[in-house]
């Protein structure tokens, strides 16, 4: 079982819609959870971090954490074409683990 | 400006010719790491370092070496590169206290081994 699992997609949403990205992790001891955005050929950039159960909002982005279900999600409201990228979920453990990413396309 | 730098950004080489990719950070981070990224496989960790003179293997360490003699630098060494090491490489760094913190990534090095 992989440490971090994400649906690879691709996920396509129309402009203005809500994009929902999901991630599950295997280590119940994980304490820190991150979402990175990566444009093709570029380096990952951090967009959200979350450490406690519940929701954390930052602009159009909302991260949700449910430690009991070992589940992390990212909601992007009012999706824009510039949000088209691969989104990587990352979780701490014995190492820092990344999922393989979900490719998101926002259709104008 | 706080940043992680990598050099070179692009490199084409031949099988067996030793090469070093440099990584440097100016944020006084304890933790540094190297990843390779291949299509469909995501980011895979090669080596990481918790602090000076402390390094450990990640998931795909074969064919790579690292050293951490100074806090700011963490070079990646390929002593005898092979075509299967053709990839996009990222260096990252972060603070490390009781747990991992968000990692900051360098711009990447695209390596081609012929």
3-class secondary-structure state, position B84: helix
pLDDT in tens, B61-91: 999 999 999 999 999 999 999 999 999 999 9
Q: What is the DSSP string of B72-83?
A: TB--EEESS--G
Measured CA to CA, the distance from residue B82 to residue B58 in angstroms comes to 19
| B107 CB-contact burial (10 Å; exposed 0-12 / middle 13-18 / buried 19+) | middle
Question: Among the listed ranges A26-30, A43-47, A57-61, B17-21, which one has the minimum average pLDDT value?
Answer: A26-30
pLDDT in tens, A69-104: 999 999 999 999 999 999 999 998 777 889 999 999
Residue A1 has pLDDT above 70, yes or no: no
HSE-up (13 A, CA, CB side) for residue B102: 15
Measured CA to CA, the distance from residue A21 to residue A102 in angstroms comes to 7
| Pick from B93, B22, B65: nearest CA to A96 | B93
Listed as ranges, residues in chain B with pLDDT below 70 are 98-100
Give pLDDT, residue A95: 76
DSSP state of B53: T
- For chain A, say whether B104 makes contact (Cβ under 8 Å): yes
How big is the CA angle at A30 (ends A43 and A33), to the nearest 5 degrees?
35
Contact assignment for B41 to A100 by CB distance below 8 Å: yes
Q: Which residues, at least 6 apart from B41, have a Cβ–Cβ distance to it below 8 Å?
A: A100
Dihedral (Cα; B72, B36, A95, A4), 10-degree rounding: 140
Instruction: Give A-chain residues touching B103 at CB under 8 angstroms.
Output: 34, 46, 90, 96
HSE-up (13 A, CA, CB side) for residue B28: 1
Question: Among the listed ranges A5-9, A52-56, B52-56, which one has the minimum average pLDDT value?
Answer: A5-9
- For chain B, say whether A98 makes contact (Cβ under 8 Å): yes
**CB nearest A92 (choices: B41, B100, B104):** B100
Give pLDDT, residue B1: 87
């Amino acid at each position: 079982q992989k440490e971090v699992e994400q649906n690879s997609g691709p996920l396509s949403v129309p402009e203005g819609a809500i994009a929902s990205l999901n991630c599950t992790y295997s280590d119940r001891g994980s304490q820190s959870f991150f979402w990175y955005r990566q444009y093709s050929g570029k380096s990952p950039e951090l967009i959200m971090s979350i450490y406690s159960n519940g929701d954390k909002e930052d602009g159009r982005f909302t991260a949700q954490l449910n430690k009991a279900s070992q589940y992390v999600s990212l909601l992007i409201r009012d999706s824009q074409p510039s949000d088209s990228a691969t989104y990587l979920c990352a979780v701490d453990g014995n190492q820092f683990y990344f999922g393989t990413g979900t490719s998101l396309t926002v259709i104008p | 400006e706080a940043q992680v730098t990598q050099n070179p950004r692009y490199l084409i080489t031949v099988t067996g010719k030793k090469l070093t990719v440099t990584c440097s950070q100016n944020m006084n981070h304890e933790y540094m790491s190297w990843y390779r990224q291949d299509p469909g496989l995501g980011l895979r960790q090669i080596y990481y370092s918790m602090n000076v003179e402390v390094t450990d293997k990640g998931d795909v360490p074969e064919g790579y070496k690292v050293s951490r003699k100074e806090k700011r630098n963490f070079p990646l060494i390929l002593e005898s590169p092979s075509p299967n090491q053709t990839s996009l490489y990222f260096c990252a760094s972060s603070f490390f206290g009781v747990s991992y913190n968000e990692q900051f990534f360098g711009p990447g090095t695209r390596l081609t081994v012929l």
